[in-house]
A and B are shown apart, each in its own frame.
Chain A
Amino acid sequence: MIEPNRKGDVWVFAEQEDESLSDVSLELCGKARELADRLGVKAGAVLPGWNVRELSYRLIAHGADKVYFVHDTRLEHYRTLPYARVMCELIGRHKPQIVLYGATPLGRDLAPRVASEMRAGMTADCTDLQIGDYEDTKAGVTHRDLLLQVRPAFGGNIIATIINHDRWPQMATVREGVMALGSGDPRRSGEIIEEKVAFTDFDLAMRLIERHREPRKVNLKAARTIVTGGGGVGSKENFKLIHNLAAAVGGVVGASRAAVDSGFIGKEHQVGQTGTTVRPALYIACGVSGAVQHRAGMEESAKIIAINWDREAPIFSVAHYGIVGDINKVIPMMIRAIKERV
Chain B
Amino acid sequence: MGYHSIVCVKQVPDTANVTAEAMKENGTVNRAALPAIFNPEDLHALEAALDVRDRFGGTVTALTMGPLNACEVLRECLSRGADRAILITDRRAAGSDTLATGYILSQAVRKLATYDLVFCGRQAIDGDTAQVGPQMAEKLGIPQVTYFERFVELTDSTARVRRNVGNGWEVLETRLPALLTVLDIANLPRPAAARRVMRQKRARGRDEVSREINAQMPDATDALKEAELQRRTLALQVRGLLIETWNLDDLEADLQWCGLAGSPTKVHRIQSIVLTKEGHTEIPPNEEGVRRMIHELIVDHTLG
Nearest CB in chain B to that of A290: its residue = B275
The smallest beta-carbon distance between A336 and chain B, in angstroms, is 7
* Cross-chain contact B173 with A154 (CB below 8 angstroms): no
Nearest CB in chain A to that of B278: its residue = A317
Q: Which of A30-38, A57-65, A184-192, A323-331 forms contacts with chain B?
A: A323-331
Nearest CB in chain B to that of A153: its residue = B127
Q: Write the A298-342 contact mask toward B (1 if CB under 8 angstroms, else 0).
A: 000011011000000010111111111110011001101110111
* Cross-chain contact A305 with B293 (CB below 8 angstroms): yes
The smallest beta-carbon distance between B103 and chain A, in angstroms, is 8
* Cross-chain contact B276 with A317 (CB below 8 angstroms): yes
Query: Does A255 interact with chain B (Cβ within 8 Å)?
Result: no
Which residues on A sit within 8 Å (CB–CB) of B146? 80, 105, 108-109
- Cα separation A81 to B143 with both chains bound (whole Å): 7
Which residues on A sit within 8 Å (CB–CB) of B225? none
- Cα separation A159 to B130 with both chains bound (whole Å): 18
Nearest CB in chain B to that of A331: its residue = B290
The residue in B125, B143, B264, B269 that gathers the most chain A C-beta atoms within 10 A of its C-beta is B264
The smallest beta-carbon distance between B27 and chain A, in angstroms, is 7
Which residues on B sit within 8 Å (CB–CB) of A166? 264
Query: Does B303 interact with chain A (Cβ within 8 Å)?
Result: yes
* Cross-chain contact B130 with A323 (CB below 8 angstroms): no
* Cross-chain contact A326 with B271 (CB below 8 angstroms): no
Query: Does B69 interact with chain A (Cβ within 8 Å)?
Result: no
Among A117, A121, A125, A282, point to the contact of B303 (Cβ < 8 A). A282
Nearest CB in chain B to that of A299: its residue = B276
* Cross-chain contact A109 with B134 (CB below 8 angstroms): yes
Among B98, B167, B171, B175, point to the contact of A216 (Cβ < 8 A). B167
Nearest CB in chain B to that of A322: its residue = B280
Q: Write the A193-209 contact mask toward B (1 if CB under 8 angstroms, else 0).
A: 00000000010011111
- Cα separation A249 to B293 with both chains bound (whole Å): 14
The smallest beta-carbon distance between B294 and chain A, in angstroms, is 4
A317 and B18 in contact (CB under 8 A), knowing A206-B172, A323-B289?
no
Query: Does A211 interact with chain B (Cβ within 8 Å)?
Result: yes
* Cross-chain contact B172 with A162 (CB below 8 angstroms): no
* Cross-chain contact A336 with B287 (CB below 8 angstroms): yes
Which residues on B sit within 8 Å (CB–CB) of A161? 267-271
Nearest CB in chain B to that of A325: its residue = B285
Nearest CB in chain A to that of B23: its residue = A158
Nearest CB in chain B to that of A117: its residue = B138
- Cα separation A89 to B272 with both chains bound (whole Å): 39
Query: Does B247 interact with chain A (Cβ within 8 Å)?
Result: no
The smallest beta-carbon distance between B97 and chain A, in angstroms, is 8
- Cα separation A81 to B145 with both chains bound (whole Å): 10
A337 and B291 in contact (CB under 8 A), knowing A281-B302, A292-B273?
yes
Which residues on A sit within 8 Å (CB–CB) of B166? 104-105
* Cross-chain contact A323 with B283 (CB below 8 angstroms): yes
A314 and B16 in contact (CB under 8 A), knowing A113-B135, A113-B138?
no
Query: Does A165 interact with chain B (Cβ within 8 Å)?
Result: yes
Q: How many residues of A contact B (CB 8 A)?
A: 84
A154 and B15 in contact (CB under 8 A), knowing A121-B265, A163-B265?
yes
Report how many A-B pairs have Cβ atoms within 8 Å.
Answer: 231
* Cross-chain contact B99 with A116 (CB below 8 angstroms): yes
A213 and B168 in contact (CB under 8 A), knowing A105-B147, A112-B98, A305-B293?
yes
Query: Does B129 interact with chain A (Cβ within 8 Å)?
Result: yes
Which residues on B sit within 8 Å (CB–CB) of A325? 285
Which residues on A sit within 8 Å (CB–CB) of B273? 156-159, 292
- Cα separation A142 to B89 with both chains bound (whole Å): 34
A157 and B264 in contact (CB under 8 A), knowing A115-B99, A121-B99?
no
- Cα separation A333 to B289 with both chains bound (whole Å): 10
- Cα separation A6 to B19 with both chains bound (whole Å): 37
Query: Does B45 interact with chain A (Cβ within 8 Å)?
Result: no
From residue 1 to 54 of chain B, which have CB atoms closer than 8 A to chain A? 13, 15-16, 18-19, 22-23, 27, 29
Which residues on A sit within 8 Å (CB–CB) of B266? 121, 134, 162-165
* Cross-chain contact B170 with A337 (CB below 8 angstroms): no
The smallest beta-carbon distance between B264 and chain A, in angstroms, is 3
A163 and B135 in contact (CB under 8 A), knowing A154-B29, A206-B143, A212-B169?
no
14 contacts between A and B (CB under 8 A): A106-B165, A112-B129, A113-B135, A116-B139, A121-B97, A153-B127, A155-B128, A158-B272, A167-B264, A205-B175, A281-B302, A323-B289, A333-B287, A340-B291
Additional pairs, 14, CB under 8 Å, beyond known A79-B172, A157-B273, A206-B145: A109-B146, A112-B129, A112-B133, A121-B263, A154-B15, A158-B270, A161-B268, A206-B175, A209-B170, A209-B172, A321-B283, A323-B293, A324-B285, A333-B291
Binding site for A on B (CB under 8 A): 13, 15-16, 18-19, 22-23, 27, 29, 97-99, 102, 125-135, 137-139, 141, 143-147, 152, 160, 165-175, 263-273, 275-278, 280-287, 289-291, 293-295, 297-298, 302-304
